[in-house]
Each structure stands twice: as structure tokens, then as C-alpha cells.
Amino acid sequence: MHARSSTGVEPAEAPDPAAAAAPDRRPRPSVVGVLGEILLTLGVVVLLFLAWQLWWNDAILAGSQTSAARDLSREWDASEPSSSSPPTAEPASPAAAAPDYGLPVVASAPDHLDVLGNLWVPRFGSDYVRTIAQGTSTDVLNSTRLGIGHYDDTQMPGEVGNFAIAAHRSAYGGGMHLIDQLQVGDPIVIETADGWYVYRFTNLEYVLASAVDVLAPVPQHPGATPGDRIITLTTCNPLYSTAERVAAYGVFESWQPRSAGPPAVVADIVAASGVQ
């Protein structure tokens, strides 16, 4: 109590010897007080870091990854001479039955970090498009322009077997944030320099981080001879945790070259994104 009076908030009626002794009336900073302020500050900084990671950086990366993917799509269009001229004319022409473009073109896997295609998933949002690059290390997954990684040693789009990719669920652009929203039959479309590969979502399963069998040519059946063209999307589960993984599967449906324009299932979001 006595020490408190030296703060001199209210004028002391009787002259206080302690106040008189101290010419300036500020309280002496205590070690505990300063320590407390430092700890409070650190606590606020940790909260700031979480906010930065989960929202700020996430939003920044999501935006830059999306615009990088759109740039890439335009680039491919530019290098394709007879591309976007009749994108709608062909499907609208007499036989509405989808034209048969034969077996899908299968490119060879690019070098690590090199781009192999774009991922379009209407269920992930009408503005969703992300770039897939070779490899699943952090230089791909945390990148400002890539974000989705193709597992080395898994097959390529359109190839018989398993085209397996990975992305963050939350933070770093959250390329597969809405993976649990996929519904059976949802299109999962891969765009490459060669063309468009349409897969249809079939199911997802929750697995441990060690479940490498989801990457097998026949998922969960290593050693089996593949007959189907599968796509596998892996990310972490639950949200904001890396305790488990979630694997979403799709089955190949159709393929068309770039000259035929984007497939109907993504034509509207491709057009809306200003790519075509």
C-alpha cells in the first residue's frame, strides 16, 4: 500500500515521505512486471503467427497459385495454333454424342518441380484452378505458383494405373481444402499441354500417413495389375491437423485434345476464369 501511494494518482493530503523522496512520481518497473509484459507480447505474437499462417498467407498463396495456373492455361492456348477458335462449335455440331478422340495421350513425367498440368474441380469453387508439378516436397506444395504435387513413381494423367497428387488441406493455399465436400460423380479435370482428362469422383477414405498403398496402380492392392485409369488426391485430415490423411479417388471417364476446347463439365468455370 505504501509503495502504491508513490504513483501519486490522487494528491496525498498529508505529505508522503516516500513521494517526497522520489522527485519523479513514476513507479519503479519491477522484474516480474516486465517479464509479464514480455510473455503477453509473445503470446500475442504466437496468435498473430497462427492468423498469418491459416488465413493471411493461405489467402495470399491461394490467389497467386490460382493466377499462376490461369497464366499457364493461357500459355498452352497460345502455343496451340488451332485452339480456342471453335471451342463451342464442335460440341454443338450435329452429333451431340461426344466425339471419340481415341485413347488419351500420355505424356512422360517431367523433372522435379516442373509443371505437368492444371487441376480443375468445380466442387472446390467456381474460381478453383491449381497447377500440378512433379514431386511432393515442400518446394512444390508450399510454392506461391504450384501448390499441388504429383507423387513420383505414380502414373501420369490418362495412363492406366494411378495418377496420384497431393496438396495442403489448410494453409499454403489449401489446394484440397474442400476435399470432404466431393460428391460421387463430381468431375475432377486435369488440363495439360496435350488436352483435358476428365475423371469422376468415386469415394474417399481416411487413412494413416503410412498408407502408401493408396498410391498403388490399383489403390490399396499393391502388386495387382491395373486395368483402370485412377486419380488419387491425398491431403491431411482432420482440418488443421496432420494426424491422418484422406485419399479421394476418381475414375477416368474421357479425354479430349486441346483443339477440342475444355470439356463441358468445366467449360463454364474455364470461361469464367477468363482463360479461354
Residues that bind another protein (CB under 8 A): 26-27, 29, 33-34, 37-38, 45, 48-49, 52-53, 56-57, 136, 138, 141-142, 149, 151, 166-169, 171-172, 207, 209-212, 214-215, 234-236, 242, 245, 247
Say which of 2, 112, 150, 168 is annotated catalytic. 168
CB of 73 or CB of 162, closer to another protein: 162
Quote the least distance from Cβ 180 to another protein, whole Å: 14
Q: How far apart are CA 51 and CA 36, in angstroms?
A: 23
Which is it for the CA torsion 213, 206, 200, 174, positive or negative?
negative
Q: How far apart are CA 41 and CA 52, in angstroms?
A: 16
Distance of CA 273 to the CA centre of its chain: 17
Q: Map grid coordinates 508522503 to a residue.
A: 16
- Paired with 191 in beta bridges are 118, 196
Quote the least distance from Cβ 113 to another protein, whole Å: 15
CB of 34 or CB of 78, closer to another protein: 34
Quote the least distance from Cβ 245 to another protein, whole Å: 5
E runs forming strands in 45-194: 115-120, 130-134, 147-150, 161-167, 187-191
CB of 51 or CB of 98, closer to another protein: 51
Q: How far apart are CA 86 and CA 89, in angstroms?
A: 5
Reply yes or no on whether 168 is catalytic: yes
Reply yes or no on whether 177 is catalytic: no
Say which of 2, 112, 150, 236 is annotated catalytic. 236
Quote the least distance from Cβ 221 to another protein, whole Å: 15
Residues 6+ apart with CB under 8 A from 121: 128, 182, 186, 187, 188, 189
Quote the least distance from Cβ 97 to another protein, whole Å: 39
* Alpha helices by DSSP H, 52-108: 57-79, 89-92
Decide: residue 105, CB within 10 A, 0-12 exposed, 13-18 middle, 19+ buried: middle
CB of 85 or CB of 210, closer to another protein: 210
Q: How far apart are CA 245 and CA 250, in angstroms?
A: 17
CB of 174 or CB of 195, closer to another protein: 174
CB of 105 or CB of 211, closer to another protein: 211
| Cβ(232)–Cβ(247) below 8 Å | yes
Q: How far apart are CA 203 and CA 220, in angstroms?
A: 13
Quote the least distance from Cβ 196 to another protein, whole Å: 26
Q: How far apart are CA 104 and CA 177, in angstroms?
A: 29
The catalytic residues are: 168, 236
